[in-house]
Amino acid sequence: MIIGVDQGYGCMKTVNFIFTTGITEYEKEPYTMQNVVKYNGKYYVCGSGRQSLVRDKTQDDSYYILTLAAIAKEMQFRNAGTKANIILAAGLPLTSFGRDKDKFIKYLKRSSFQPVKFEFEEQEYKITITDVMMYPQGYLAVIDYLEKLKNEPSVIVCDIGSWTVDVMRLDNGKPNAATCRSLELGIIRMIDEILEQIRRSTGLSVTAAQVEQVLKNQPCSLNEKANDIIREQGKMYVDKLFHTLLESGFDVAAVPIIFLGGGASLVKQNIGKNIITKASYIEDIRANAIGYEKMTNRKIGESK
């Protein structure tokens, strides 16, 4: 079974699921068994809160356990039982792909610990991760979409994630490695700034979930001043993003751009007076996971 997983700083994504990259460890059985992984005698509530930023996702078991939860969710959804051989399809930013690829494969595969035995929501699982296929983030999310832009010799791909904005230029449909940038300008930084601005201006301690709701132009019970601050900060973030892209060598007035990731819809709503030649948006944040799985299926099919 092939399962694509995008292990993001803000959310874990599979073809069929999105859940927060948060994990809380318990020595004893927790208050709920929903979204709970039991691994090596400990309990882990997955999808609760936000995981602290880590430069190295392999530094502890957190992302491994979150990946087990993602696999179990997909197995449940596909009625695949509780035992399976898994080909895991995952990704890394192109800027760190060569440096971190082998280490991340080793972290996820854990050959000496196969098969992996764990529980998810009180159901026992036994899986063997037979292979880990790694791909560059962003590129596979747009590879099928490029057919719509096949007459464009160059296209910028801008993947706006929770912590980083990963940008690359494609020339004739292929990534130009020299242009890849990973900018620490993700949505989490903007939301933290908004929360602080609201505290200073109104004394209110609103939540990140409320801020995200307003940024999506969805109803939320906040006073008008807080709403205004959120909307204004959202516009300022988009302006800053465009300036940073230009400073990094990406001239969106000259080259078409595809926005994807959690921030794509925010850019779409706040593009304002920015000079841009042509913008496209992939707002489904599962796009990377879908791309990983689709490409792996294609490769397996071609090898048969």
Q: What is the predicted pLDDT for the residue at 80?
A: 96
| Contact criterion met (CB below 8 Å) for 10 and 50 | yes
Q: In sequence order, what E strands does 48-162 have?
A: 83-92, 116-120, 123-136, 154-160
In this structure, whether the domain defined by 2-136 belongs to CATH 3.40.50.1370 is answered with: no
54/51 Cα distance (integer angstroms): 8
Q: What is the predicted pLDDT for the residue at 189?
A: 86
Topology agreement, domain 2-136 and domain 139-187+218-283:
yes
Tell me the CATH class for 139-187+218-283.
Answer: alpha beta
Q: Token digits for 239? A: 């302006």
Q: Order of strands, edge to edge, in the sheet holding 2-4?
A: 2-4, 83-92, 123-136, 116-120, 36-39, 42-46, 23-26
Strands 11-13 and 18-20: antiparallel
88/178 Cα distance (integer angstroms): 28
Q: Token digits for 91? A: 């990704």
User: What's the average pLDDT block by block, 10 residues per block, for the chain (304 residues)?
Assistant: 94 95 91 93 88 79 96 97 97 87 95 90 96 92 84 94 91 90 89 93 91 86 90 91 94 93 89 78 94 92 72
Question: So where are the chain's domains?
Answer: 2-136, 139-187+218-283
Identify which of 73, 72, 89 has the alpha carbon closest to the alpha carbon of residue 7. Answer: 89
